[in-house]
């Protein structure tokens, strides 16, 4: 569900830390992939469900949940839905 929201307007600011990249690669079994490009692709998917709860955005798509800090646009983690 793509709508006009702060996350989409600031997608160019999306980034992660070194530890965040390692955590996302491990949680999603990604190898040799740019995790930020992967997350942007998921966020831009028309089927993505975006919800802001407190200080974080949660994006659900393809049984994956991506957690993004709403103030800094740092991808904190991404993992498969349980």
Taking a C-beta distance cutoff of 8 angstroms, is the pair 20, 76 a contact? yes
Confidence of residue 82 (pLDDT cuts 50, 70, 90): confident
Q: How far apart are CA 61 and CA 78, in angstroms?
A: 11
Q: How far apart are CA 74 and CA 71, in angstroms?
A: 8
Whole-model pTM: value is 0.90
Start-to-end Cα distance in the chain: 21
Q: How far apart are CA 3 and CA 16, in angstroms?
A: 23
Dump pLDDT digits (tens) for 12-65: 999 999 999 999 999 999 988 999 999 999 999 999 999 999 999 999 999 999
DSSP codes, 10-62: TGGG-B--HHHHHHHHHHHT--S--HHHHHHHHHHSTT-EEEEETTEEEEEET
């Amino acid at each position: 569900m793509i709508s006009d929201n702060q996350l989409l307007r600031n997608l160019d600011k999306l980034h992660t830390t070194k530890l965040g990249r390692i955590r996302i690669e491990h949680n999603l079994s990604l190898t040799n992939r740019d995790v930020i490009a992967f997350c942007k692709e998921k966020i831009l998917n028309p089927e993505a469900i975006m919800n802001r709860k407190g200080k974080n955005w949660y994006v659900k798509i393809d049984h994956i949940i991506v957690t993004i800090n709403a103030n800094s646009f740092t991808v904190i983690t991404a993992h498969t839905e349980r």
